[in-house]
Homo-oligomer: A and B are copies of this chain.
Protein backbone atom coordinates (compact mmCIF):
# COMPACT_ATOMS: atom_id res chain seq x y z
CA UNK A 1 0.00 0.00 0.00
CA UNK A 2 1.48 3.33 -0.99
CA UNK A 3 2.05 6.02 1.59
CA UNK A 4 1.17 9.66 0.97
CA UNK A 5 2.15 12.62 3.15
CA UNK A 6 -0.21 15.59 2.84
CA UNK A 7 0.46 19.04 4.26
CA UNK A 8 -2.24 21.67 4.79
CA UNK A 9 -1.40 25.29 5.48
CA UNK A 10 -3.14 27.68 7.84
CA UNK A 11 -5.39 29.21 5.20
CA UNK A 12 -6.76 25.73 4.34
CA UNK A 13 -7.82 25.13 7.96
CA UNK A 14 -8.74 28.70 8.87
CA UNK A 15 -12.12 27.78 10.41
CA UNK A 16 -14.38 24.83 11.21
CA UNK A 17 -15.66 24.71 7.62
CA UNK A 18 -12.12 24.58 6.29
CA UNK A 19 -11.21 21.79 8.68
CA UNK A 20 -14.23 19.76 7.60
CA UNK A 21 -13.41 20.29 3.92
CA UNK A 22 -9.82 19.19 4.46
CA UNK A 23 -10.98 16.17 6.50
CA UNK A 24 -13.08 15.02 3.56
CA UNK A 25 -10.15 15.31 1.18
CA UNK A 26 -7.95 13.30 3.54
CA UNK A 27 -10.59 10.57 3.85
CA UNK A 28 -10.83 10.44 0.04
CA UNK A 29 -7.09 9.70 -0.16
CA UNK A 30 -7.53 6.94 2.41
CA UNK A 31 -10.48 5.50 0.46
CA UNK A 32 -8.29 5.49 -2.66
CA UNK A 33 -6.13 2.92 -0.94
CA UNK A 34 -3.31 5.04 0.43
CA UNK A 35 -1.82 5.11 3.88
CA UNK A 36 -2.12 8.78 4.83
CA UNK A 37 0.03 10.95 7.08
CA UNK A 38 -1.09 14.58 7.37
CA UNK A 39 0.98 17.54 8.50
CA UNK A 40 -1.03 20.59 9.53
CA UNK A 41 -0.22 24.20 10.35
CA UNK A 42 -1.95 26.41 12.90
CA UNK A 43 -5.40 27.71 11.94
CA UNK A 44 -5.52 30.99 10.02
CA UNK A 45 -4.22 33.84 12.14
CA UNK A 46 -3.59 31.80 15.31
CA UNK A 47 0.17 32.19 15.20
CA UNK A 48 -0.03 35.95 14.69
CA UNK A 49 -2.45 36.23 17.60
CA UNK A 50 -0.09 34.28 19.86
CA UNK A 51 2.84 36.46 18.78
CA UNK A 52 0.74 39.52 19.59
CA UNK A 53 -0.08 38.15 23.06
CA UNK A 54 3.61 37.46 23.67
CA UNK A 55 4.44 41.05 22.72
CA UNK A 56 1.94 42.25 25.30
CA UNK A 57 3.62 40.41 28.19
CA UNK A 58 7.25 40.90 27.19
CA UNK A 59 9.07 43.00 24.61
CA UNK A 60 11.61 40.21 24.07
CA UNK A 61 9.52 37.11 23.45
CA UNK A 62 12.19 34.81 22.07
CA UNK A 63 13.71 31.47 22.88
CA UNK A 64 12.39 28.38 24.58
CA UNK A 65 9.13 29.82 25.94
CA UNK A 66 8.21 31.43 22.63
CA UNK A 67 8.41 27.99 21.02
CA UNK A 68 6.30 26.48 23.78
CA UNK A 69 3.70 29.18 23.08
CA UNK A 70 3.59 28.94 19.29
CA UNK A 71 3.32 25.14 19.22
CA UNK A 72 -0.11 25.44 20.84
CA UNK A 73 -1.40 26.59 17.45
CA UNK A 74 -0.71 23.36 15.57
CA UNK A 75 -1.94 21.36 18.54
CA UNK A 76 -5.37 22.94 18.23
CA UNK A 77 -5.53 22.45 14.46
CA UNK A 78 -4.42 18.82 14.51
CA UNK A 79 -6.78 17.76 17.28
CA UNK A 80 -9.75 19.38 15.52
CA UNK A 81 -8.75 17.79 12.22
CA UNK A 82 -8.55 14.34 13.84
CA UNK A 83 -12.02 14.87 15.36
CA UNK A 84 -13.45 15.92 11.99
CA UNK A 85 -12.02 12.78 10.37
CA UNK A 86 -13.45 10.54 13.10
CA UNK A 87 -16.79 12.21 12.48
CA UNK A 88 -16.57 10.93 8.89
CA UNK A 89 -16.25 7.40 10.24
CA UNK A 90 -12.48 6.96 9.91
CA UNK A 91 -9.89 6.52 12.63
CA UNK A 92 -7.39 9.31 13.16
CA UNK A 93 -4.75 10.07 15.78
CA UNK A 94 -2.91 13.34 16.21
CA UNK A 95 0.75 13.60 17.23
CA UNK A 96 2.90 16.50 18.36
CA UNK A 97 6.25 17.02 16.65
CA UNK A 98 7.86 15.36 19.65
CA UNK A 99 5.54 12.34 19.52
CA UNK A 100 6.13 12.06 15.77
CA UNK A 101 9.87 11.83 16.36
CA UNK A 102 10.88 15.14 14.79
CA UNK A 103 14.27 15.63 16.47
CA UNK A 104 15.93 19.03 16.07
CA UNK A 105 18.95 20.97 17.24
CA UNK A 106 18.52 23.34 20.19
CA UNK A 107 18.27 26.62 18.27
CA UNK A 108 14.89 27.88 19.46
CA UNK A 109 12.61 29.71 16.98
CA UNK A 110 14.55 28.43 13.96
CA UNK A 111 15.60 24.89 14.79
CA UNK A 112 16.88 22.52 12.12
CA UNK A 113 15.68 18.93 11.85
CA UNK A 114 18.55 16.55 12.54
CA UNK A 115 16.65 13.27 12.62
CA UNK A 116 13.14 11.87 12.23
CA UNK A 117 12.20 8.70 14.13
CA UNK A 118 8.58 8.16 13.18
CA UNK A 119 7.99 4.87 15.02
CA UNK A 120 4.68 5.98 16.53
CA UNK A 121 3.46 7.29 13.18
CA UNK A 122 4.36 4.03 11.46
CA UNK A 123 2.56 2.02 14.15
CA UNK A 124 -0.48 4.26 13.94
CA UNK A 125 -0.90 3.98 10.16
CA UNK A 126 -0.13 0.26 10.19
CA UNK A 127 -3.07 -0.11 12.61
CA UNK A 128 -5.24 1.55 9.96
CA UNK A 129 -5.32 5.07 11.38
CA UNK A 130 -4.82 8.33 9.57
CA UNK A 131 -1.95 10.05 11.41
CA UNK A 132 -2.13 13.82 11.90
CA UNK A 133 1.16 15.50 12.79
CA UNK A 134 1.77 19.02 14.04
CA UNK A 135 3.86 20.95 11.54
CA UNK A 136 6.52 23.52 12.38
CA UNK A 137 7.61 21.85 15.63
CA UNK A 138 10.00 19.31 17.06
CA UNK A 139 11.88 18.41 20.20
CA UNK A 140 15.55 19.12 20.82
CA UNK A 141 17.91 16.16 21.01
CA UNK A 142 19.62 17.72 24.00
CA UNK A 143 17.37 18.84 26.80
CA UNK A 144 14.16 17.47 25.28
CA UNK A 145 12.76 20.97 24.87
CA UNK A 146 10.03 21.94 22.41
CA UNK A 147 11.42 23.74 19.37
CA UNK A 148 9.96 25.41 16.27
CA UNK A 149 11.41 25.29 12.79
CA UNK A 150 10.91 28.91 11.79
CA UNK A 151 9.24 30.27 8.69
CA UNK A 152 7.82 27.64 6.32
CA UNK A 153 8.56 25.01 8.92
CA UNK A 154 5.43 22.95 8.29
CA UNK A 155 6.44 22.28 4.69
CA UNK A 156 9.79 21.08 5.95
CA UNK A 157 8.10 18.82 8.53
CA UNK A 158 6.05 17.26 5.74
CA UNK A 159 9.03 16.61 3.48
CA UNK A 160 11.13 15.28 6.35
CA UNK A 161 8.38 12.86 7.41
CA UNK A 162 7.88 11.80 3.80
CA UNK A 163 11.60 11.02 3.58
CA UNK A 164 11.68 9.13 6.90
CA UNK A 165 8.57 7.10 5.97
CA UNK A 166 9.73 6.57 2.37
CA UNK A 167 6.50 8.10 1.07
CA UNK A 168 5.55 7.98 -2.58
CA UNK A 169 4.87 11.71 -2.66
CA UNK A 170 4.63 14.74 -0.38
CA UNK A 171 1.53 16.74 -1.29
CA UNK A 172 1.69 20.39 -0.21
CA UNK A 173 -1.85 21.80 -0.14
CA UNK A 174 -2.13 25.55 -0.27
CA UNK A 175 -4.53 28.27 -1.42
CA UNK A 176 -3.17 28.52 -4.98
CA UNK A 177 -3.22 25.88 -7.71
CA UNK A 178 0.52 25.34 -7.86
CA UNK A 179 3.67 27.09 -9.01
CA UNK A 180 3.08 29.57 -11.83
CA UNK A 181 5.38 30.94 -14.53
CA UNK A 182 5.01 34.29 -12.77
CA UNK A 183 2.94 35.71 -9.91
CA UNK A 184 -0.66 35.49 -11.26
CA UNK A 185 -1.55 38.70 -9.44
CA UNK A 186 1.00 40.53 -11.61
CA UNK A 187 0.84 38.56 -14.84
CA UNK A 188 -2.75 37.71 -15.78
CA UNK A 189 -1.54 35.27 -18.43
CA UNK A 190 0.74 33.33 -16.07
CA UNK A 191 0.53 29.58 -16.60
CA UNK A 192 0.54 26.88 -13.97
CA UNK A 193 3.70 24.80 -14.28
CA UNK A 194 2.91 21.06 -14.53
CA UNK A 195 6.40 19.91 -13.61
CA UNK A 196 9.57 21.67 -12.53
CA UNK A 197 12.96 20.32 -11.51
CA UNK A 198 14.26 20.70 -7.97
CA UNK A 199 17.05 22.96 -9.26
CA UNK A 200 14.76 25.43 -11.02
CA UNK A 201 12.36 25.42 -8.06
CA UNK A 202 15.26 26.26 -5.73
CA UNK A 203 16.20 29.24 -7.89
CA UNK A 204 12.59 30.43 -8.09
CA UNK A 205 12.25 30.12 -4.32
CA UNK A 206 15.35 32.19 -3.70
CA UNK A 207 14.25 34.76 -6.28
CA UNK A 208 10.98 35.71 -4.63
CA UNK A 209 8.49 32.92 -5.43
CA UNK A 210 6.51 32.38 -2.22
CA UNK A 211 4.78 29.07 -2.93
CA UNK A 212 7.55 26.82 -1.61
CA UNK A 213 10.43 27.88 0.57
CA UNK A 214 14.00 27.13 -0.42
CA UNK A 215 14.65 25.06 2.67
CA UNK A 216 11.80 22.64 2.02
CA UNK A 217 12.78 22.12 -1.64
CA UNK A 218 16.40 21.60 -0.63
CA UNK A 219 15.35 18.87 1.81
CA UNK A 220 13.16 17.17 -0.81
CA UNK A 221 16.00 17.22 -3.33
CA UNK A 222 18.46 15.73 -0.89
CA UNK A 223 16.15 12.75 -0.18
CA UNK A 224 14.60 12.70 -3.65
CA UNK A 225 11.01 13.08 -2.43
CA UNK A 226 8.64 14.29 -5.18
CA UNK A 227 6.54 17.27 -4.06
CA UNK A 228 3.08 17.91 -5.46
CA UNK A 229 1.99 21.50 -4.77
CA UNK A 230 -1.77 21.88 -5.22
CA UNK A 231 -4.86 23.72 -4.04
CA UNK A 232 -6.93 22.43 -1.12
CA UNK A 233 -9.90 24.30 -2.62
CA UNK A 234 -10.02 22.50 -6.01
CA UNK A 235 -9.49 18.94 -7.21
CA UNK A 236 -7.03 19.98 -9.91
CA UNK A 237 -3.55 18.59 -10.46
CA UNK A 238 -1.00 21.11 -9.28
CA UNK A 239 2.74 21.38 -9.86
CA UNK A 240 5.08 18.40 -9.49
CA UNK A 241 8.56 19.19 -8.22
CA UNK A 242 11.01 16.32 -8.66
CA UNK A 243 14.20 15.15 -10.32
CA UNK A 244 12.42 14.24 -13.53
CA UNK A 245 8.86 13.99 -14.86
CA UNK A 246 6.82 10.97 -13.74
CA UNK A 247 6.96 7.78 -15.79
CA UNK A 248 4.36 7.89 -18.54
CA UNK A 249 4.27 11.67 -18.35
CA UNK A 250 7.12 12.28 -20.78
CA UNK A 251 5.07 14.79 -22.66
CA UNK A 252 6.08 17.18 -19.92
CA UNK A 253 9.41 18.29 -21.28
CA UNK A 254 11.68 20.61 -19.44
CA UNK A 255 11.02 24.11 -20.65
CA UNK A 256 13.93 26.38 -21.54
CA UNK A 257 12.59 28.87 -19.05
CA UNK A 258 10.63 27.76 -15.99
CA UNK A 259 9.41 31.13 -14.87
CA UNK A 260 9.89 34.75 -13.94
CA UNK A 261 10.14 35.64 -10.27
CA UNK A 262 10.18 39.05 -8.67
CA UNK A 263 11.00 40.34 -5.24
CA UNK A 264 10.30 43.80 -3.82
CA UNK A 265 11.39 43.03 -0.28
CA UNK A 266 15.00 44.06 -0.76
CA UNK A 267 16.94 47.29 -0.58
CA UNK A 268 20.21 48.25 -2.22
CA UNK A 269 23.28 49.72 -0.56
CA UNK A 270 26.08 51.23 -2.60
CA UNK A 271 29.45 51.90 -1.02
CA UNK A 272 30.82 54.77 -3.08
CA UNK A 273 34.52 55.48 -3.70
CA UNK A 274 36.19 52.37 -2.33
CA UNK A 275 39.97 52.29 -2.93
CA UNK A 276 40.57 49.51 -5.46
CA UNK A 277 43.11 47.45 -3.56
CA UNK A 278 43.15 43.99 -1.98
CA UNK A 279 41.22 43.53 1.26
CA UNK A 280 38.80 46.44 0.90
CA UNK A 281 35.79 44.35 -0.14
CA UNK A 282 36.67 41.79 2.52
CA UNK A 283 36.61 44.48 5.23
CA UNK A 284 33.24 45.71 4.06
CA UNK A 285 31.57 42.30 3.98
CA UNK A 286 33.17 41.19 7.23
CA UNK A 287 31.51 44.19 8.89
CA UNK A 288 28.18 43.23 7.28
CA UNK A 289 28.55 39.60 8.35
CA UNK A 290 29.42 40.56 11.92
CA UNK A 291 26.17 42.55 12.03
CA UNK A 292 24.35 39.31 11.01
CA UNK A 293 22.94 40.87 7.87
CA UNK A 294 22.03 38.49 5.04
CA UNK A 295 23.08 39.84 1.67
CA UNK A 296 21.85 38.67 -1.72
CA UNK A 297 23.30 40.12 -4.93
CA UNK A 298 26.78 41.69 -4.89
CA UNK A 299 28.10 43.75 -7.79
CA UNK A 300 31.42 45.55 -8.21
CA UNK A 301 32.34 47.42 -11.38
CA UNK A 302 35.86 47.92 -12.62
CA UNK A 303 37.41 51.00 -11.08
CA UNK A 304 37.83 54.24 -12.96
CA UNK A 305 41.49 54.43 -14.04
CA UNK A 306 41.69 58.15 -13.23
CA UNK A 307 40.78 57.81 -9.54
CA UNK A 308 41.63 54.25 -8.58
CA UNK A 309 38.27 54.16 -6.81
CA UNK A 310 35.37 51.75 -7.34
CA UNK A 311 31.78 51.34 -6.14
CA UNK A 312 30.43 48.20 -4.51
CA UNK A 313 26.66 47.56 -4.48
CA UNK A 314 24.71 44.82 -2.79
CA UNK A 315 21.09 43.99 -1.99
CA UNK A 316 19.70 42.89 1.37
CA UNK A 317 16.33 42.56 3.15
CA UNK A 318 14.85 46.00 3.83
CA UNK A 319 14.40 45.08 7.50
CA UNK A 320 18.17 44.76 7.88
CA UNK A 321 19.02 48.04 6.14
CA UNK A 322 19.47 50.13 9.28
CA UNK A 323 21.76 47.56 10.86
CA UNK A 324 23.92 47.31 7.74
CA UNK A 325 24.31 51.08 7.41
CA UNK A 326 25.31 51.38 11.08
CA UNK A 327 27.88 48.61 10.70
CA UNK A 328 29.35 50.17 7.57
CA UNK A 329 29.59 53.67 9.03
CA UNK A 330 31.84 52.27 11.75
CA UNK A 331 34.29 51.02 9.10
CA UNK A 332 34.36 54.23 7.05
CA UNK A 333 37.72 55.48 8.33
CA UNK A 334 39.49 52.13 8.18
CA UNK A 335 38.16 51.25 4.71
CA UNK A 336 38.37 54.80 3.47
CA UNK A 337 35.27 54.94 1.27
CA UNK A 338 33.60 58.22 0.33
CA UNK A 339 29.94 57.69 1.13
CA UNK A 340 27.00 55.27 1.44
CA UNK A 341 23.83 55.28 -0.65
CA UNK A 342 20.73 53.50 0.57
CA UNK A 343 17.82 52.79 -1.79
CA UNK A 344 14.75 50.79 -0.82
CA UNK A 345 12.70 51.56 -3.94
CA UNK A 346 14.07 48.69 -5.97
CA UNK A 347 12.75 45.43 -7.39
CA UNK A 348 14.61 42.29 -8.36
CA UNK A 349 13.41 40.41 -11.44
CA UNK A 350 14.77 36.93 -12.10
CA UNK A 351 14.50 34.59 -15.04
CA UNK A 352 14.96 30.93 -14.06
CA UNK A 353 15.46 27.86 -16.23
CA UNK A 354 18.03 25.10 -16.62
CA UNK A 355 17.56 25.43 -20.39
CA UNK A 356 19.40 28.74 -20.48
CA UNK A 357 22.68 26.91 -20.02
CA UNK A 358 22.43 25.63 -23.62
CA UNK A 359 20.50 28.53 -25.18
CA UNK A 360 22.92 31.42 -25.63
CA UNK A 361 20.28 33.94 -26.75
CA UNK A 362 18.47 34.00 -23.41
CA UNK A 363 20.38 36.88 -21.85
CA UNK A 364 20.00 39.03 -24.93
CA UNK A 365 16.26 38.35 -25.21
CA UNK A 366 15.85 39.16 -21.51
CA UNK A 367 17.61 42.53 -21.76
CA UNK A 368 15.85 43.41 -25.03
CA UNK A 369 12.47 42.76 -23.47
CA UNK A 370 13.29 45.08 -20.58
CA UNK A 371 14.66 47.72 -22.90
CA UNK A 372 11.60 47.60 -25.17
CA UNK A 373 9.43 48.08 -22.09
CA UNK A 374 11.48 51.13 -21.15
CA UNK A 375 12.79 49.54 -17.95
CA UNK A 376 16.26 50.60 -16.83
CA UNK A 377 18.63 47.96 -15.41
CA UNK A 378 20.62 49.00 -12.33
CA UNK A 379 22.39 45.78 -11.36
CA UNK A 380 22.90 42.42 -13.01
CA UNK A 381 23.79 39.11 -11.42
CA UNK A 382 23.71 35.62 -12.91
CA UNK A 383 24.03 31.98 -11.94
CA UNK A 384 24.18 28.99 -14.24
CA UNK A 385 20.38 28.73 -14.50
CA UNK A 386 19.24 32.22 -13.44
CA UNK A 387 19.60 35.85 -14.50
CA UNK A 388 18.58 38.55 -12.01
CA UNK A 389 18.38 42.29 -12.52
CA UNK A 390 17.57 45.15 -10.20
CA UNK A 391 15.21 47.83 -11.49
CA UNK A 392 13.13 50.65 -10.04
CA UNK A 393 10.31 49.29 -7.84
CA UNK A 394 7.79 51.23 -9.95
CA UNK A 395 8.79 49.26 -13.03
CA UNK A 396 8.29 45.78 -11.59
CA UNK A 397 4.87 44.97 -13.07
CA UNK A 398 5.80 46.20 -16.53
CA UNK A 399 9.12 44.38 -16.42
CA UNK A 400 7.75 41.01 -15.31
CA UNK A 401 4.98 41.10 -17.94
CA UNK A 402 7.37 42.03 -20.72
CA UNK A 403 9.80 39.24 -19.88
CA UNK A 404 7.00 36.70 -19.45
CA UNK A 405 5.68 37.51 -22.94
CA UNK A 406 9.12 37.62 -24.55
CA UNK A 407 9.86 34.05 -23.50
CA UNK A 408 6.54 32.71 -24.75
CA UNK A 409 5.29 31.90 -21.28
CA UNK A 410 1.88 33.58 -21.70
CA UNK A 411 -1.08 31.23 -21.63
CA UNK A 412 -3.73 31.24 -24.34
CA UNK A 413 -6.43 32.28 -21.92
CA UNK A 414 -6.81 35.88 -20.91
CA UNK A 415 -6.53 35.41 -17.22
CA UNK A 416 -4.87 32.87 -14.94
CA UNK A 417 -7.55 30.93 -13.09
CA UNK A 418 -6.53 30.41 -9.50
CA UNK A 419 -8.79 28.34 -7.28
CA UNK A 420 -7.68 30.07 -4.17
CA UNK A 421 -9.31 30.49 -0.82
CA UNK A 422 -8.09 33.68 0.71
CA UNK A 423 -6.74 35.08 -2.53
CA UNK A 424 -3.33 35.34 -0.98
Chain B nearest CB from A183 CB (Å) reads 33
Chain A residues numbered 1-57 whose CB sits less than 8 Å from any CB in chain B: 16, 19-20, 23, 50, 53-54, 56-57
Which range holds the interface residue count of chain A?
A: 35 or more
A interface majority secondary structure: helix
Interface string of A153-193 (1 = CB under 8 A from B): 00000000000000000000000000000000000000000
Chain A residues numbered 60-90 whose CB sits less than 8 Å from any CB in chain B: 60-61, 64-66, 68-69, 71-73, 75-76, 78-84, 86-87
Chain A residues numbered 74-130 whose CB sits less than 8 Å from any CB in chain B: 75-76, 78-84, 86-87, 92-94, 96, 99
| Candidates B57, B68, B80, B82; contact of A19 at CB < 8 Å | B57
Known pairs A69-B76, A69-B80; list 17 more (Cβ under 8 Å): A20-B57, A53-B80, A54-B80, A54-B83, A57-B80, A58-B84, A60-B87, A64-B93, A65-B79, A65-B83, A65-B86, A65-B94, A66-B79, A66-B83, A68-B75, A69-B79, A72-B72
Asked whether B56 lies within 8 Å of A16 as measured between CB atoms, the reply is: yes
- Bound-state Cα–Cα, A19 to B58, Å: 10
Asked whether A57 lies within 8 Å of B94 as measured between CB atoms, the reply is: no
Binding site for B on A (CB under 8 A): 16, 19-20, 23, 50, 53-54, 56-61, 64-66, 68-69, 71-73, 75-76, 78-84, 86-87, 92-94, 96, 99, 144, 146
Asked whether A68 lies within 8 Å of B58 as measured between CB atoms, the reply is: no
6 residue pairs A–B, Cβ–Cβ below 8 Å: A57-B80, A58-B86, A66-B79, A71-B75, A72-B73, A99-B144
Residue among A16, A64, A76, A83 with max Cβ neighbours from chain B (10 Å): A83
Chain B nearest CB from A67 CB (Å) reads 8
- Bound-state Cα–Cα, A93 to B73, Å: 19
Q: How many copies does the complex hold?
A: 2
Asked whether B57 lies within 8 Å of A16 as measured between CB atoms, the reply is: yes
- Bound-state Cα–Cα, A359 to B71, Å: 58
Chain B nearest CB from A381 CB (Å) reads 41
Asked whether A87 lies within 8 Å of B68 as measured between CB atoms, the reply is: no
Chain B nearest CB from A39 CB (Å) reads 15
Chain B nearest CB from A108 CB (Å) reads 12
- Bound-state Cα–Cα, A273 to B86, Å: 47
Question: Which residue of the partner chain B has the closest CB to A55?
Answer: B16
> 6 closest A-B pairs (Cβ-Cβ)?
A69-B79, A16-B56, A58-B87, A68-B79, A72-B72, A57-B84
Residue among A20, A64, A81 with max Cβ neighbours from chain B (10 Å): A64
Asked whether A68 lies within 8 Å of B57 as measured between CB atoms, the reply is: no
- Bound-state Cα–Cα, A94 to B86, Å: 32
- Bound-state Cα–Cα, A106 to B124, Å: 17
- Bound-state Cα–Cα, A99 to B60, Å: 25
Task: Contacts A53-B16, A64-B93, A93-B64 given; indicate if A87 touches B71 (C-beta within 8 A).
Answer: no
- Bound-state Cα–Cα, A180 to B218, Å: 64
Asked whether A78 lies within 8 Å of B84 as measured between CB atoms, the reply is: no
Asked whether B83 lies within 8 Å of A69 as measured between CB atoms, the reply is: yes
B-side contacts of A72, CB under 8 Å: 72-73, 75-76, 79
Asked whether B94 lies within 8 Å of A68 as measured between CB atoms, the reply is: yes
Asked whether A76 lies within 8 Å of B53 as measured between CB atoms, the reply is: yes
Task: Contacts A56-B16, A58-B87, A87-B58 given; indicate if A92 touches B80 (C-beta within 8 A).
Answer: no
- Bound-state Cα–Cα, A144 to B119, Å: 13
Task: Contacts A19-B57, A72-B75, A75-B72 given; indicate if A65 touches B50 (C-beta within 8 A).
Answer: no
- Bound-state Cα–Cα, A53 to B60, Å: 31
B-side contacts of A96, CB under 8 Å: 146
Question: Which residue of the partner chain B has the closest CB to A62?
Answer: B83
B-side contacts of A59, CB under 8 Å: 87
Asked whether A76 lies within 8 Å of B50 as measured between CB atoms, the reply is: yes
Asked whether B60 lies within 8 Å of A82 as measured between CB atoms, the reply is: no
Chain B nearest CB from A92 CB (Å) reads 7
